[in-house]
Amino acid sequence: MEQLAAAALCFLGIHLLVSGTTLRDVLTRNIGEKPYLGFFALTSLAVIVWLACSYNAASVSTANTVLFNLGGGFRSFAGLPVMLIAFMLVLPGVLRGNPTSQGQEKAKISGILRITRHPFLWGATLWSGFHLLALGTLAGVLFFGTFFLVAVIGMRAIDGKVKRKRPADWAMIISQSSAIPFAAIFEGKNIFVAREIFDWRFGIALVAFVAFAVLHVKIFSVPAFPPQWLGLLTL
């Protein structure tokens, strides 16, 4: 459990104390944007591997106590709809240019970005938040709670970085989008365009969701479907 806690603190540290902060600005000025991004990506990947390995060990440890239990009903029936929404946010968000992302400054606010300018991070928030609540264990809280915090705080960090480094672009971005899902649409800053949202990106996300739901039990030894549904799948 100590290894998991250390890995979690390390991952939180490099994201909350470096990425999106003025320290990042100092580093990019000294070593350049591309070297920084490459080093940060490799470091993040290494820590994620450390986190995953530590979690696997901690989850079967006697120190992995149950902190809370929301019951099997929550795990069985909330999982699929929550994760479907997460997939609908993550993949279209990754596959569409985002003006808040490095190297995509000229991208337009369209598609899923009309709903939120942080679709990937909202998807990560749903994924990590659901698994944290579904497990209720110390290891689960440390592992998934780390990703949850990084995703939630990361939205503010990204906005702060864009506002600080690209004030003119930031004015345009906030005039057409919102961090909170659907807020820009409710405020009249944007509109819901179905043909942009339910495009090929949506199709890829739907196929990926179905595939992952079916394979979840083989990969993680935990079924994504409620037990009573499994009989229907084998008919």
Convert the pLDDT of each residue in 78-119 to its tens digit. 888 999 999 999 999 999 999 998 888 889 999 999 999 999
For residue 61, pLDDT over 90 is answered with no
CB 197, CB 138: distance < 8 Å: no
Entry pTM: 0.88
Angle at 146 (CA atoms; ends 132, 24), nearest 5 degrees: 155
pLDDT, residue 226, reads 66
CB 129, CB 78: distance < 8 Å: no
Low-confidence winner among 121-125, 165-169, 200-204 (lowest mean pLDDT)? 165-169
Which pLDDT band, with edges at 50, 70 and 90, does 18 fall under? confident
For residue 127, pLDDT over 90 is answered with yes
pLDDT, residue 25, reads 76
For 6, 15, 78, 156, 203, the CA distances from 41, given in Å and listed in that order, are: 19, 11, 32, 20, 28
For residue 64, pLDDT over 70 is answered with yes
For residue 37, pLDDT over 90 is answered with no
pLDDT, residue 153, reads 92
For residue 55, pLDDT over 80 is answered with yes
Mean per-residue pLDDT for 3-18? Answer: 90
Low-confidence winner among 38-47, 68-77, 137-146 (lowest mean pLDDT)? 68-77
For residue 30, pLDDT over 90 is answered with no
* Cα-only R_g, the chain: 19
